[in-house]
Amino acid sequence: MTTPFVVWFLAFFLSQTTGFVVLKPELSGKELVEYINSAQSLFVAELTELTDDEMRFKVMDEKFAEPRGDEQYLDGGEIIPEPLPDTFDARDNWPECKSIKLIRNQATCGSCWAFGAAEIISDRECIQSNATRQPIISVDDILSCCGETCGLGCDGGYTIEALRFWNHSGVVTGGDYGGDGCRPYPFTPCKKSPCAKSATPICEKKCQSGYETKYSSDKHFGSTSYYVTNTVGAIKTEIYHNGPVEASFKVYADFYQYKSGIYKYTGGKLVGGHAVKIIGWGNDNGVDYWLIANSWGTTFGEDGFFRMVRGTNECGIESNVVAGLANLGVNDVKDDDDGGAAGTCSLFVCFLSVLTLYLI
């Protein structure tokens, strides 16, 4: 009979001599942490304080992390075939864009798909405007108002649909819970376990009390949204030229134990899907990695950020990447449920208006 010690010793021996790690999906809790730290050296694990339920509350249904089959890729690597640096950090490349450095907190709602979208929209509008615009885009507006087209709210959603919502409907501003902007995030981080799951908020097309700008006038729009071709070169090129991208991947129990280093799946069961913001890449002791911002607050990982193995589609991180570009020329557009006046008119309508005034 094979004893637990023999299993552990074989796993440890293989990891140290060949780099091979025996995956242990059945482990959890303290046993999982001990196994992670003994079986590999890429990342350091620390026991999470989250319960099993709380772990599930922070992610979405795994189906939302998978490609849908309707992808129309934009291959940035073919569009701009030029050498890229070995390391890149969007925080350093665009230091004036404060949103790139910001770590937000989704609390106990599986709204990561809306967070990732709001984050890259904020970053890209700043980058495209040469830092003359620095909005913090509302997660709540995307989460509550995109509807069934986007998905299931706090149970998950499609990242590409969140960006398409930005294109055709526009999104207002709003920080984290209790923050500034038109529609701040409605959920406060739970500080005492056990924590209850948050329900998808109601779509309210109005700004919070005390915010002077009208809902319709606070809208920010995108001009296009697209899937980024699932190659390392295309993803790097997109980030290098246009800013951070949103990516989805499958989350296993060991990810919650991540403290520092370069994450690679080692053990624990599949929990769900997750969406995050990739802001750069690098190499540490010969291991290529993606530099990623999470939305679980600054106590997670490396001050809210983490690194993940790059080039092997780890947990699907390279197979469902989306991005978009801001439309800096559109604002103050009338919303049907808001009393604001439209800020634009067609050339034909404007011509008739001017002609009428002239004839009068």
Instruction: Identify whether 356 is part of a domain.
Output: no
290 and 306 part of one domain? yes
Q: Which pLDDT score, from 0 to 100, does residue 351 have?
A: 37
Tokens 């819970």, located at residue: 177
Q: Which pLDDT score, from 0 to 100, does residue 24 have?
A: 79
37 and 55 part of one domain? no
- Residue 261 binned pLDDT confidence (cut-offs 50, 70, 90): very high
Domain assignment of residue 3, given as a range = 1-41
| Sheet strands (E) in the chain | 43-45, 73-74, 88-89, 221-228, 245-252, 258-263, 270-284, 287-293, 305-309, 321-327
72 and 186 part of one domain? yes
- Residue 87 binned pLDDT confidence (cut-offs 50, 70, 90): very high
78 and 200 part of one domain? yes
Catalytic member of 112, 150, 154, 315: 112
This prediction's pTM = 0.86
**End-to-end C-alpha distance for the chain, whole angstroms:** 99
Total of domains in the chain: 2
Greater confidence (345 vs 151) lies with 151
pLDDT digits (tens, 9 = 90+) for 115-154: 999 999 999 999 999 999 999 999 999 999 999 999 999 9
238 and 260 part of one domain? yes
Q: Which pLDDT score, from 0 to 100, does residue 5 have?
A: 47
6 and 67 part of one domain? no
Confirm whether 220 is a catalytic residue. no
Both tokens assigned to 287: 């291991």
240 and 299 part of one domain? yes
Instruction: Identify whether 321 is part of a domain.
Output: yes
Supply the CATH number for residue 180's domain. 3.90.70.10
Catalytic member of 182, 207, 274, 315: 274
Instruction: Identify whether 95 is part of a domain.
Output: yes
Instruction: Identify whether 360 is part of a domain.
Output: no
Confirm whether 294 is a catalytic residue. yes
Q: Which pLDDT score, from 0 to 100, does residue 331 have?
A: 62
Instruction: Identify whether 335 is part of a domain.
Output: yes
212 and 245 part of one domain? yes
217 and 253 part of one domain? yes
Q: Is the pLDDT of residue 66 over 60?
A: yes
Instruction: Identify whether 323 is part of a domain.
Output: yes
Q: Is the pLDDT of residue 81 over 80?
A: no
251 and 328 part of one domain? yes
16 and 64 part of one domain? no
Distance between CA 274 and CA 299 in Å, rounded? Answer: 18
The contacts of residue 154 (CB under 8 Å, 6+ apart) are 109, 110, 111, 143, 197, 198, 199, 200
Q: Of the ranges 80-84, 245-249, 300-304, 333-337, which one carries the lowest mean pLDDT score?
A: 333-337
Both tokens assigned to 265: 């799946």
